[in-house]
Chains A and B, each alone.
Chain A
């Protein structure tokens, strides 16, 4: 369903296919026990589900409270119409959708303070709060248990010549039109830069934040988008059946949406539509069968449980996976996929060709004389433990500096403070003279500090190219930009950045593979590539050689050396050979305190440093022989 990169003529293929399917469905349905009414309802659920799929399928946020927005949209527009506050159904729908969006901002802001299980619980609770509000305190407006009857049908045109969209095929066409527009919009969102960030968030939210994206704002944005879709669908429901039911707010409604989406296929956009078709069709037709009629929902529940347990992907998802596999072939049948040899993938040794310069970089720094990175009196206490005590060090622009020390010395904590992951208890971090303490990882990355992790933090569901693109997008878009339109792959500077980084780390040949199929050393290089693609001025490398075989070590050291020629690097490493080879300056930490600083020669000859490594703490009386 995703058009190939650059294949413009196929840009509207999915929409065309969908129209064809809908038209076919509309005509076939009456013969298999359906009706125009059923058709319309399925489409409304499909529209409701488009937003939910963006939220859950693409961003990974499972909400059990979408009914809150469905009901809000429906009731606001129904109320406006039944009280004749507004005459135009279109305008009322717009207001309803907007109201749902506002409610979405409020609930989203509260609910997104937590993730995962907590988030699901909280959205469920807010769905209930909406239900209760409708039921009692606001019953004067909402009709309480009775709902709002008498919602008028929309009209096209003005005055006497206007054309009413009555129930039947006219209403169905209207709803289908809304769905199609909604689908086209959702599809564009998915392929936009905004959508690329959403997918990254679903895969690894922390890394996405560390690469410079304001994850919280993206989550809130998609939450509101889902609320808007829900609100529009709710409004349409009221218009469709000329009545706004209180069940629109119920937990059952939220639950049904989730179930339908899972059955139809999460993350496919048409999943909710398919799932809705299955659900509503079975609901209507099973009930007619004597004896088992009452079990229709039980059966649907059983299908649901079986699907999650056995076929996680749902109907559309399984179809898509099958289609992809037959078209593309299995990953290891890809041409050129021989055993990963590092020599073949990294540009060869001397003379060093200059590394391709990156088109996108952090904003230029003003103060020319200031050191690239400076820690001033950094301290960090965890409860009673003083992990880092009053550490000051400077990293000059264009140098490679290493931080070493025995286990428990505080190197990890220091690194985290430099990078914004941890807020210091005292002291400051200065970046080219500018105070960046407390900016957090996203702010630090946007300012120009990148970090590559000791344990790979890659996006496992994105290809190598897409991985790097996420990082480059943060530089291009800034911390947050709702770039909902335009393809994520169509920003020239971003694409050039991605190509440059892939060339630098020698992964051009692997660009369209998933990280899972890469060799370990290649994954480490991708890890470095991610932090590089954000265009940092200072790059922190946390144990870049960790877990590497001797051959991989050699190649990666070369890469680091070449990076060091162009940027400022700070490295934490335990491989002493590598440290002495690569670093121009070394800082030694022990027990949270800066023990020594100097050139490799200085450090090697420093007795205090030897003592720290070999003796640990002060000598105690030897016990026994």
Chain B
């Protein structure tokens, strides 16, 4: 068995042993020590505003926003009917049209007939560029295996015209709801495949991000679970959830978001959507999609992509 080394009075400078004072002096000699004025200037420069000339659409009184259709054409049809009943003036989709579900081309006519205003998700970025990976960023081999199956199926079943259409979608939009200017993105304002979960997205991080992108809030999807935070500055961040698969809560319903202007405030409502999920399960089986995906549609519990869940969200998960 290895002998425990005795480091008393000594420091480990790399693999060398030196007197601890020598390490302390050498360390103190490295790095910057700015005065207060220059520190404030460094922080200001670090927070430099991001250039964003996205045109603003609206104003609207009420809009419906969803993400992650994942080829779930039945949920999409249900959403369009529901949003119409609730008198949404516009419907926005935050990307990831394909993956997971059956026959990806089926969502396109629904999006066009419903006048849905889309942005690209990481799926559209990858499909339009004919990449061989969805760029979800999984590292666990099991999650990667299912992500690859899902992407390969979607890629096989998306024609050139649909891919070209995806490639023409913008990466972001800006909308005015009442007097609130909101940025619409897939992952986050800075990265198309950034996962933003409630329990790992600090308020301070969001405030800095919103300051950089000069808006009253942003809407995102990608992580698959809906949440919202009303920030101390009065701004709002809303993860609108996905309609492609349930929210890992043991219910087969999927979720979208209704935004409504209430004076100068923004009212956020998460809407559970029931749809003919047993039919979707039959269609998925007919397409020989993995039974693990079908189980999620039927039970409401995620069976894959679990590695991305933070501790709190994983604790609430069946698997």
Query: Are chains A and B native binding partners rather than an unrelated pairing?
Result: no
Residues of A within 8 A of B (CB): none
Residues of B within 8 A of A (CB): none
